[in-house]
Structure 1
């Protein structure tokens, strides 16, 4: 019996050691590959921001992407590949994510300054679309609405299954909030022990190109990613409600989310009324992650980013759809016009 117990203990120790080693190797190789593939933008204070910039010579316009909470900049990969040839892009990791230097400054103003700095450095005078997913969707809309002169040169804001901060604030101390807290804490543990390499929290189905999947997995295997995500989650509960946006707005909503889809659609609909030139588009069959991670969904979003922005308000007959009653995209677009 003692021999069996000893063998079990040795086996468990070996598995734990292999998991720790796998996590460390994944983080190391991921960091090295990330440094090889992406630029490091140096800020005036000497800190670094990881960026991926593609502004071709024939570019007539550009899009600036802002990531969701806890997500890397390469999850825009399918969308970037579907953009037209005359449209460049800039995507980046916020401070504390990927190779970007961690910062002790939180809140909206430091982020607005970073967005403006990236525009001035890489986009210059090109017309720009601001596109963000999840918390990044809130960031780009808040930047265009609240930062002085930010809206100049902005042709369109695209909020992709974006965070609605009032609803987020109301969730505090509820079961949803407690679950989110516990999840991010446990993901830090999984990342530190290497377990997240074997079962990533996101991109579990490895739906990007192989090199992007590897980079994504290494990003999630870093405990710092989840510590930063938790700080952003708590900080977002203090952000002001969006009330006015003086430029065209497209709200893109994942139709098949966890929980009550009707409630989710209604929350997203509140975002669409902040602009008097708005549309609300549902991506059939997508959820919060697959709206970018599944290539056909991402290509549908890319068409909205690159296409003509809306020119008028939502029609009075518009009603949000739900996953229980799916309709063709063309039919929904007719309702919006």
Structure 2
């Protein structure tokens, strides 16, 4: 019942973009008539496009957005092609269809962060019209590749296999793998649960996880770059900060921002954290390099608790 009502609700809420080959992509497009710029969002692995909800709600009035579910997720038709080029084609198609003529910010979380940076770096002429790329606690593929056949890799493989079983049997409805704190609005929480209850979601996530280990390291990006990092990562925070810092050096116009108190999921799922991310997306892009004296720090920034208290 959860899967059925979830698909029906998705079909009611989101539109379907028809591609030249007849396949469909679930999209949510909001571009006001007075919009001066647009942000194109790319999701993390195994995550629905509605998890950008708090970020989208915090964007300024002159900024539209386009978000979508990659093939195989949500209502999007599964694609037998894998790798970066098919995804680059889709990003370019969405830009040409919905954002043509407007400046665009490319923003992605987790694996989506790598996707948007790789698109701007590797796809011909993709950087034209891009005001900045925002990588939000993004996947660093070299570290991911080095984790292969380690305990981390084995646990990731086992977890996604277990989630497929939980989804197929319906148990995931009672114990969602993500959004466990139910921080979104009730309708988004229900949609998120229904998305995770589809075993196809986890089959697609596993394929993306394995495919990501073959992706090339990014070495250059000819546009401003903002790297946003969750301060409280699962595991070694110092190691995570160092890995994220490596992402920031691919552009000569970059900044590295830590969201205090956030983790990999709450950086979007907790409203104050998401609003901080939205400020970075909508703000002025960085104009210069990090510099040799740069050190990661959260000193002087309000904590998540302080921002929650302020909102209340």
Shorter-chain-normalised TM-score: which range?
Answer: over 0.9
How far off its partner does 1:179 sit? Answer: 0.2
Inter-partner Cα distance in structure 1 for 2:87 and 2:138 = 17
- Residue among 137, 149, 152 paired with 1:176: 152
Residue pairs, 1:41-120, within 5 angstroms: 41-120=17-96
Inter-partner Cα distance in structure 2 for 1:209 and 1:34 = 15
Inter-partner Cα distance in structure 2 for 1:242 and 1:221 = 34
CA displacement, residues 282-322 of structure 1 (integer Å, 9 cap, x when unaligned): 0000000000000000000000000000000002211224x
Alignment match, 1:133: 109
Could you tell me which runs of 5 or more consecutive residues in structure 1 were left unpaired when the two chains were aligned.
Answer: 1-24, 331-337
Could you tell me which runs of 5 or more consecutive residues in structure 2 were left unpaired when the two chains were aligned.
Answer: 303-312
SS at match of 1:246: coil
Alignment match, 2:278: 302
CA displacement, residues 141-169 of structure 1 (integer Å, 9 cap, x when unaligned): 00000000000000000000000000000
Inter-partner Cα distance in structure 2 for 1:317 and 1:59 = 38
Inter-partner Cα distance in structure 2 for 1:42 and 1:226 = 24
Question: TM-score by structure 2 length?
Answer: 0.96
Inter-partner Cα distance in structure 1 for 2:222 and 2:180 = 38
Does residue 1:327 correspond to 2:295, yes or no?
no
CA displacement, residues 47-103 of structure 1 (integer Å, 9 cap, x when unaligned): 000000000001000000000000000000000000000000000000000000001
Does residue 1:249 correspond to 2:225, yes or no?
yes
Question: TM-score by structure 1 length?
Answer: 0.89
- Aligned 8 A contact 1:282 1:329 in 2: no
Inter-partner Cα distance in structure 2 for 1:96 and 1:192 = 16
Residue pairs, 1:210-289, within 5 angstroms: 210-289=186-265
How far off its partner does 1:105 sit? Answer: 0.2
CA displacement, residues 217-247 of structure 1 (integer Å, 9 cap, x when unaligned): 0000000000000000000000000000000
* RMSD (Å) for aligned C-alpha atoms: 0.7
How far off its partner does 1:186 sit? Answer: 0.0
Question: Which structure carries more helix by proportion?
Answer: 1
CA displacement, residues 104-154 of structure 1 (integer Å, 9 cap, x when unaligned): 000000000000000000011100000000000000000000000000000
